[in-house]
Structure 1
Amino acid sequence: MEMDTHSFTAVADRLAALYTQSFGGKASGRYRIAVKLVRKLAKRRRLYEVDILALTRAMIERGYILIDMDNFFVVMNANTFVNYRRVNEDSLE
């Protein structure tokens, strides 16, 4: 069973909006959200692998990374990774 396009785009919009909201003692930024709450947002009893993939893609389109940690998801801005060190071939030798 797959989430319809409207469902996962609406959930991605809500998760992206949460990134800019103040909660948990911080004005905005990365956060984690329980799988149970994502299921509630999606109005689903279960999230299947195909659903998570669709949601992950929708989040990337909005500039966010969704990381599945089994019991919860982490949402981060994709720009977070731009300044990370890069591995080159010399580093592997």
Structure 2
Amino acid sequence: MRMLALHGYTIADGLMAKKEFKVTGVGYKDKPLSFIITTSVLSSDPTAKAHGTKLESLIVEFLQSEEISPIVDNEPYEITVNSKDNKKIN
């Protein structure tokens, strides 16, 4: 499996390092390229959808950056952000 990294930092490192992101886990699948993000936010939280969308936007921004875009090489990808109770929130 290909691990996207930038100067030794992976998506998981970046998301899990900041407490405000509330990320508890990051998974990857290679074919098709998929990112599965798990958060500590409950799906019933009124801010859950906005939080999931924000995390998805951060990942898209990372994947489209000058350093990472050539690695992804226009390969389609999917991003799923899940709540603590395992519901999709993005």
| Shared fold per TM-score greater than 0.5 | no
Which of structures 1 and 2 has the bigger CA Rg? Answer: 1
More helix by share: 1
TM-score, with normalisation over the residues of structure 1?
0.32
TM-score, with normalisation over the residues of structure 2?
0.32
More strand by share: 2
